[in-house]
Amino acid sequence: MAYRKRKGKDTWHWCRNCSNWPTSDYEEKPSKPAQGELCNECLSKDKAGTCTK
């Protein structure tokens, strides 16, 4: 599962259907990052089972 965040920002996203999923000018990591914030929308979608990974 890929984690993405916009360059210069601290919030990581992992749901491709998140309204803030970065599609350009981003960093990507293959696993959960050790630093930074986790997106609240992604957390909510993950908990509800509606996260597209």
The overall pTM is greater than 0.85:
yes
- pLDDT tens for each residue of 5-21: 999 999 999 999 999 99
Residue 23 to residues 2, 5, 19, Cα–Cα distance (Å): 12, 10, 11
What distance in Å separates the CA atoms of residue 34 and residue 25, rounded to the nearest whole number? 21
**Chain CA centroid to CA 13, Å:** 1
Domain boundaries, the chain: 3-48
Mean pLDDT of 29-37: 96
